[in-house]
Amino acid sequence: MAPANIISVDVEDYFQVEAFAGSIERSSWPGYPGRVEASTRRLLDLFDEVDVKGTFFVLGWVADRYPGLVREIAGRGHELACHSYWHRLIYKLTPKEFRADTREAKDRIEQAGGMPIFGYRAPSYSITRASLWALDVLSETGFTYDSSIFPIRHDTYGIPDAPRHPFRVETRSGGIDEFPISTFHLGAGPNFPVGGGGYLRIFPFFYTRFGFSGVRKENAPLISYIHPWEVDPEQPHLPGSALSKWRHYTNLAKTYSRLQTLLRMGRFTSFRDSGLLANVPPGHLRNSPCGACARALQPR
């Protein structure tokens, strides 16, 4: 039987994305009109419609200000997980800063949701070769799985030669299961991203359909993701570079219907309920925290 696919939501508001981090100070976040409650509930209603439970990686800042939303996510049967507190790129933090951010976020989400959380996703998939030490911090902090490594080349994130399917990493603090974001192959070429976010929005839907088919031919789960702001085409427009605006605003009006179609193409569920967490094989990242490469985890 083919493994279940994963649907996950990175719960952040439109003004907290990395695309606008250079023009919006975090200290100014409270001054922007919040839209994350309404847009997240739109996703919750869609998931009810298609009978899907997902994993919601919540920003600690959001949990602080909207604890009722966190309780509602859990109350509607979905898994709560962590998306950091301040949505900062991990490779721009020290291990000490990352540890403090992670502990604060985990505490706020657990307090709001009334349950322990075990999954983590880095802002903008920022566990790269420069920040593999973060896996050790996550294990030390009580997380049992991570979904932050993207096996592609990108200007902000990515480890192109990372394993493409779920694998287990042994760190100094214990093992942690890694669930890379899905990619597919065309012959012997590079990995192509598929299954969520801008790739679902910006590319024609036949690209998603083709990539989904490629992932399933490998008997692997599609690990897909979405952000609440991506189903909110009425959100305010923010200042930023032409590239940032293109990445953020392209096809916002099409995302909801495309996600609806994707969720009807197979069986989707949360990491927690997928059965995958009990069956992750060991893997290896070159210059990684596993085995003899544990030195990469030493705080610097």
Per-residue pLDDT at 30: 96
Question: What's the pLDDT tens digit per position in 26-42?
Answer: 999 999 999 999 999 99
Segment holding 184, helix H or strand E: strand 183-184
What pTM was computed for the model? 0.92
pLDDT score of 282: 65
Judged against a pLDDT cut of 60, whether residue 288 lies above it is answered with no
**Is the CB of residue 4 less than 8 Å from the CB of residue 267?**
yes
Domain boundaries, the chain: 5-297
| For residue 274, pLDDT beyond 50 | yes
Given a contact cutoff of 8 angstroms between Cβ atoms, the answer to whether 142 and 131 are in contact is no
Q: Strand 223-226 and strand 145-146: pairing?
A: unpaired
**Inter-helix orientation angle 95-113/67-75, to 10°:** 70
**Could you report the per-residue pLDDT of 114-163, keeping only the tens digit for each?**
999 999 999 999 999 999 999 999 999 999 999 999 998 887 888 999 99
pLDDT for the residue numbered 293: 37
Joined tokens for residue 259: 């996600």
Inter-helix orientation angle 36-49/252-263, to 10°: 30
CATH homologous superfamily of 5-297: Glycoside hydrolase/deacetylase (3.20.20.370)
pLDDT tens sequence across 187-203: 778 999 998 999 999 99
Question: Binning pLDDT at 50, 70 and 90, where does residue 286 land?
Answer: low
Percent of the chain at pLDDT exceeding 70:
92
Q: What is the mean pLDDT of residues 34-58?
A: 98
Cα distances from 286 to residues 15, 161, 179, 250, 290, in angstroms, run 35, 8, 17, 35, 9
Sequence-distant (6+) residues with CB within 8 A of 95 are: 133, 134, 137, 299, 300
Helix (H) or strand (E) holding 82, with range, is strand 79-82
Tell me the DSSP string of 211-271.
HHHHHHHTT---EEEE-GGGG-TTSPP----HHHHHHHHTTHHHHHHHHHHHHTSS-EE-T
Neighbours of 192 (CB within 10 A): 17
